[in-house]
Chains A and B, each alone.
Chain A
C-alpha cells in the first residue's frame, strides 16, 4: 500500500506539469552514500554499506505574478529499514508587495525557517544535517502561516511564523500554537568580496507536543549565527543555540540544552585548472550538551572532507566523521557522500 502511495506521489509532478505546463517546474535531489566504519560502531569495525540518505522531489508552480505554490515529497530511505515518505512542504506564497513592500505571506506546510537558512549557509545537507536538526532540537518543517520580508538590495530577510508545533511528521495534540521569529542580515553586501558575511538571530516560543499540558510546558529555543567570508575563497560560520524544555505534563523544571557548531570551507576560485575551481576543503566541529544539569553527557562531532563539484548538479564528498559522547567509545566513519540534483 505504501509503495502505491509513494508512486502516486512521485507521479504527481507529471500530473502538475501537464496541467500548468508553462509555469510549473519539477526539481529534486538525492543523497546516496557509501559508509565504512573505522571503529566498532555497533556493526563491527570494517562494516560497510551503500545506502541512500534522502530523496526530495519538488514541484513549484507560478499561478500568477503574485501567487505561487510548492509541493515537496521527502523520501527517507535507509536500505535496512522500511521506506518512509512524507509530504515535507505544501504551501502557497502570496506576494503582497502591492500592499507592504518586499513582503510575502506563506500558508500551509512550510519550512520553519532557521534550519533551512542554516542549511544554505552550511551548503552540504547531503553530507550532514545542521546543528539544531541533527540533535532533534527543531523540526525543519511545520504547518502554519508566516510573514516574510526580503530587505531591499540583498541586505537580508526576516520572518515571523505562527506554527502548529509538532513539525511535519507529527500531529497536533493540544490547543497551543508556537510562534517564532528570525532574521538574517548581510551588512557588507555592497562589498562584493565580503557580501556573504552574515549575522542571524532566532527565537522560538513553543509548547510541548503532548496532550494535557499547561502553558508551563514550554519548548523554547534561542539561536544566533555569524559568518565571515572573503572572496569566495573562505567562509567560516559559527552557530550557537540554547533550548529550554518542560516536555512532560507535571514536570516542575525546565531541561536546558545548548550547542555550538563551527564550520568552514576553503575554495580556489582563482585556480587555473577547472578541477581545482570545483574543489572545497570542508571542516566542522559541533559540541552539544543535551542537559546542562547532567555532568559528562556532552556530545562532540567532527567532520573533515574534500568536496568536488563534478558537474552542475553532481557533487562528491569523501569525508571523515567522528562522533564522541563523554563516557562512551569514539565512533569513526569514512563516508563517500554524493549529491544528485535534477
Chain B
C-alpha cells in the first residue's frame, strides 16, 4: 500500500513539471474563423513560444471538440445549450466557461445587381420558409429566389432559425453551404441568390437593410444600430473553455479582451464588446 501511495505522489509531482502547455487549439464557428486567425497571428508574433492552431467546422463541431477534450477553446456564434453544458460537465468534470468575445450583426446578403435593398423581419422569415418565392413579391425583378444557408452544425444556422424563423423549420429548398465565405461567394455569383452570415464577410455582395416591422425604419448592421437595438439580428460571439481558463489559455483570453485584442475585432469587421464586457 505504501508503494502505491509513493507511486501516486510521484506521478502527481512528475506531471506538475510538465504542465503549462504552450500549444493552444481553437476550433468551431466559421463566423469567428477569420477573427480567431487574426488574433492567433498577432498573439503568436508577440509571444514567439506559443503556437495557436485555429480551425473551423461550425460552432457545433467546436463544442463537440470541447466536450471530447480535443480543443482548448471552442469558438461559437451561439450560446451553448444546456445539454451541451451537461455533456462538458459529465465528460470533463468541470463546467463550461462562457466568454463573450465580440458582437456581430447577422447580415443578409444579396447579389450587387439585385435591386432589392431592404426587407422587413417578417419578409425575411417568409423568404427562408419559401412562403415568398419570387423577388417581385418584395419589390424586385420577376425571378425565382435562390436560398443559401448553413449546415446544422453551424451556430449561425441555429441563431437564424431561433431568432428570425421563430424556431420554425427552414424551407427544404435552402442550399446548405459549408461556411459563410461559401455563402458570400455563391450570392456574389447568383443574381437570384440570398444568404446570411457574419457582418465581417459582407464583401462583394449587397447588405440588406432590415426593419423590425413595416412601421419601423430600415437599418444596416452597424455598431450604433446594434447597440441601440434598431438592427434586430445581432448576437454575441463566444469562446468556451472547460473550467476556468488557466496558464497560457488565460493569458490569451485576457489579451483578446484587452483594448489591443478588441481593436483587432474592429479591424476584422466585427464589433468590439461594450466596455462593461471587455477588460
In the complex, the answer to whether A189 meets B15 with C-beta atoms within 8 Å is no
Question: Which residues from 46 to 80 on chain A have a C-beta closer than 8 Å to any C-beta of chain B?
Answer: none
By the criterion of a CB under 8 Å from any partner CB, how many residues of chain A are at the interface?
31
Given contacts A270-B246, A272-B18, contact A191 B95 (CB under 8 A): yes
Can you name the residue of chain A whose Cβ is closest to the Cβ of B241? A192
Task: Return chain B residues, CB-CB under 8 Å to A232.
Answer: 92-94, 242-243
Is A229 interfacial (CB-CB < 8 Å)? yes
In the complex, the answer to whether A192 meets B94 with C-beta atoms within 8 Å is yes
Interface bracket on B: 20 to 34
Task: Return chain A residues, CB-CB under 8 Å to B242.
Answer: 192, 232, 269
Can you name the residue of chain B whose Cβ is closest to the Cβ of A270? B19
Cβ contacts A264-284/B at 8 Å (1 or 0 each): 001111111100110001000
A266 to chain B: closest CB distance in Å? 7
Is A170 interfacial (CB-CB < 8 Å)? no
Task: Return chain B residues, CB-CB under 8 Å to A272.
Answer: 18-21
B56 to chain A: closest CB distance in Å? 21
In the complex, the answer to whether B15 meets A192 with C-beta atoms within 8 Å is no
Is B82 interfacial (CB-CB < 8 Å)? yes
Task: Return chain A residues, CB-CB under 8 Å to B6.
Answer: none
Task: Return chain B residues, CB-CB under 8 Å to A268.
Answer: 15
Given contacts A272-B18, A281-B8, contact A231 B89 (CB under 8 A): no
In the complex, the answer to whether B82 meets A154 with C-beta atoms within 8 Å is yes
Question: Which residues from 250 to 269 on chain A have a C-beta closer than 8 Å to any C-beta of chain B?
Answer: 266-269
A271 to B238, CA, bound (A): 25
Task: Return chain B residues, CB-CB under 8 Å to A294.
Answer: none
Question: Which residues from 209 to 251 on chain B have a C-beta closer than 8 Å to any C-beta of chain A?
Answer: 241-244, 246-247
A83 to B97, CA, bound (A): 46
Question: Which residues from 126 to 154 on chain B have a C-beta closer than 8 Å to any C-beta of chain A?
Answer: none
A159 to B225, CA, bound (A): 46
Listed residue (A192, A266, A267, A312) with the most chain B CB atoms within 10 angstroms of its CB? A192
In the complex, the answer to whether B89 meets A196 with C-beta atoms within 8 Å is yes
Is B86 interfacial (CB-CB < 8 Å)? yes
Given contacts A154-B82, A154-B85, contact A235 B93 (CB under 8 A): yes
In the complex, the answer to whether B86 meets A195 with C-beta atoms within 8 Å is no
Task: Return chain B residues, CB-CB under 8 Å to A270.
Answer: 19-21, 246-247
Given contacts A195-B95, A232-B94, contact A281 B85 (CB under 8 A): no
A202 to B66, CA, bound (A): 32
What is the interface of chain A, defined by CB distance below 8 A to chain B? 120, 150, 152-154, 186, 189-196, 229, 231-232, 235, 266-273, 276-277, 281, 304, 312
List of 7 A-B pairs having minimum Cβ-Cβ separation, nearest first:
A195-B95, A192-B95, A232-B93, A192-B97, A232-B94, A272-B18, A270-B19
